[in-house]
Each structure stands twice: as C-alpha cells, then as structure tokens.
Amino acid sequence: MKLPRTARGISAMILDISCCADSSSPNRAGCSQHMHQQKEENTVKTNAKDDGLARDEQLREVEERLLQQLHNAKSLFEIENSMWELACFYSRTGRQEIAFQYVNQLLERMDDPGRAAECYLAMGQIMEQVGDYERAIEFYEQALMLKPATRQVAYLVHNNLGYCLNYVGRYQEAEPYCRTAINIDPQRYNAYKNLGVSLEGQGRIGEAARCYIIAVHANAFDQRALRHLENLIENNKAIITEINDIKEQLENCRRAVKAAREFEDENNGST
C-alpha cells in the first residue's frame, strides 16, 4: 500500500472498540463414528461461514454507527473523538489506508505539539502494521522532535523507534532509544526485550541475555523474550563463561512462562 508522505499519525491505538472482537469460534468437536464424520465436517464449515457472515454484518453496523456519530458531532471534542474511533476501527479491521486518512485529517486540525506527537506515534504504528518500518521510523522521529507531553506517549515513541531500528538492522542506533524507554517507565517489559535484541545484534551476548531475563519476569505472559533467550543461548554456548548460572535462569524463565500459560488456560476455561 502506497501512502502519501505528508500523512500524519494517531495515538497508540489505545481505543478499544469491543464490538470489533472476533466472534466465538465454531464448535469443531469431532464425531467418533466414521459414518457421521463427513456430515459433521460440512456442518462445521457451514457454521464457520455463518459466523464469518455474522461478523461482517456486525462490523458493518459498527462502521455505520461510527460514521453517523461523526456526522452528528457538533463540538470539537465530539468531532475529534469520533475521528479517533474511526481511525482505530479501520486499523483494527485491516483497513490501514482509511485509518491513515482519518489520522492525517486529525493532525491537520491540531496546533498543540503534544497532541501532534501522539498523531505521529500512531502513524508510525500504522506503518508497522503494513510492514513499512522505514516510514515508521520517520514518523517516530517526527514525534520525538515535538517532545511528547505524556509519559505513555514518550515511552511508546522511544520503545517503538528502538524496535523498528532493530528490525532494519540498525542495532547500535536502537540502543539509546530502548534505554530511554526503560528510564521513562522501568515497569514495562517490552523495552527490555527490544534492548536485548539491540545488544545481541551488537554482539553483547551477556548483556542481551540479562535483558531478556528481566523482560520474561516482568511479563511472563508474553513468550517472545523467552524465545529470544533460548535462541541466544543455543547459538552462543560460551555464554556460560559470562553468566555462570545461565541454565538455571533459563529454567526459571521457562517455569514463569509455563505458569503464566497455565493461568491463562484456567481462566479461559472458566469463561
């Protein structure tokens, strides 16, 4: 998707439009008797198709409601809030180009640098969604130039910029942005993971391992840091000379992730 270079961005895609959630999965329970197997498979396919049609209809209704909400908006707050919701809706439903257009209109209305930084942040996120990491870097850099006004936006801009620089192989450049994100909010885990990727890309294996370990224990529900740690250890056997108890720490990380997964399974099973 080719988007205009003058376009702007939206704020962290924080808005949650619960109506956009995936509909429940069709019941795919198997039939133990072979003579009923084909009939059941056909029923499952029909149910899946019906669920898809129902979801499409639900999304159309949400879209129409949001468009009508914007049409009826009177105050500046109502108009901008409606535009944000539409941008979020289109982003979440795979229509990033339309989301981009709404965000561009939003930024053109803004004269506050802090709010403009939020727009550039979100546009960087949209660029990530369409796989254009170089453009995402440009938007995050624009956001930084405007000096984000809130802790959350400042964290996200620095963290996301570090992530994108890592993605395109600019590991050394990514490091200071990841460290700044950690300084802004040391309780959030993702910047530790991204710092680990940056350090690993620079060949600083022991430091990278420590960052992955911190990230796992900060949020064991996200398994990406554990995978990074496992791959790093597998590809760098000599790390044991730098971190003597690395195997023990790896097992501790695995136990933490397993416990988090079991907790999720238990809670999902109870709903």
In a domain, 39, yes or no: no
1 and 126 assigned to the same domain: yes
Identify whether residues 2 and 115 lie together within a single domain.
yes
Domain presence at residue 203: yes
Mean pLDDT computed over 178-191: 96
Out of 12-26, 36-50, 76-90, 114-128, which region has the weakest mean confidence (pLDDT)? 12-26
pLDDT digits (tens, 9 = 90+) for 9-61: 334 343 332 222 222 222 323 333 333 334 333 444 445 566 777 788 888 89
How far apart CA 209 and CA 232 sit, in angstroms, is 7
**115, 149, 183 — which closes off a domain?**
149
139 with 197, same domain?
no
Q: What is the pLDDT of residue 253?
A: 97
Q: How confident is the model at residue 141 (pLDDT cuts 50, 70, 90)?
A: very high
91 shares its domain with 8: yes
Residues 246 and 113 in one domain: no
Asked whether residue 203 falls in the same domain as residue 107, the answer is no
Residue 47, pLDDT score:
56
Q: Indicate the SS3 state at residue 44.
A: helix
177 and 93 in a common domain: no
pTM of this prediction exceeds 0.85: no
For the cut 60, the answer to whether the pLDDT of residue 132 exceeds it is yes
Structural domain contains residue 227: yes
Q: Which of 149, 181, 202 is the last residue of a domain?
A: 149
pLDDT over 80 at 151, yes or no: yes
Domain count for the chain: 2
Inside any domain, residue 118: yes
Q: Bigger pLDDT: 258 or 149?
A: 258
- CB-based burial of residue 152 (10 Å sphere; 0-12 exposed, 13-18 middle, 19+ buried)? middle
The torsion angle over the Cα atoms of residues 33, 37, 39 and 44, rounded to 10 degrees, is 120
Task: Write down the residue that tokens 């501790």 correspond to.
Answer: 252
Residue 267 lies in a domain: yes
CB 221 within 8 A of CB 260: yes
pLDDT at 226 over 90: yes
Query: Mean pLDDT highest for which of 33-37, 73-77, 175-179, 239-243?
Result: 175-179
Question: Which of 268, 27, 3, 40 is CA-nearest to residue 136?
Answer: 3
72 shares its domain with 132? yes
- Do the beta carbons of residue 130 and residue 7 sit within 8 Å? no
User: Does residue 214 register a pLDDT over 70?
Assistant: yes
Predicted local confidence at residue 48, as pLDDT: 56
Please say whether the beta carbons of 28 and 42 come within 8 A: no
Residues 15 and 139 in one domain: yes
Q: State the pLDDT confidence band at 208, using cuts at 50, 70 and 90.
A: very high
Lowest pLDDT segment from 40-54, 116-130, 257-271:
40-54
pLDDT tier for residue 157 given thresholds of 50, 70 and 90: very high
List the domain range (segments joined by +) for residue 249: 169-271
Provide the pLDDT for residue 178: 98
Containing 150, the helix (H) or strand (E) segment is none
Question: What is the pLDDT of the chain when averaged over all its residues?
Answer: 83
- Within 10 angstroms of residue 79's Cβ, the number of other Cβ atoms is 17
Q: Which of 149, 178, 204 is the last residue of a domain?
A: 149
In a domain, 32, yes or no: no
Instruction: Identify whether 225 is part of a domain.
Output: yes
104 and 65 within one domain: yes
Based on the domain organization, do 107 and 177 belong to the same domain? no
Q: Are residues 134 and 9 in the same domain?
A: yes
Of 214, 233, 221, 226, the residue nearest 254 (C-alpha)? 226
| Cα gap 126→263, rounded to integer Å | 32
- Domain assignment present for residue 157? The answer is no
Which CATH number fits the domain that encloses residue 71? 1.25.40.10
Please, are residues 47 and 14 in contact by the beta-carbon 8 Å criterion? Answer: no
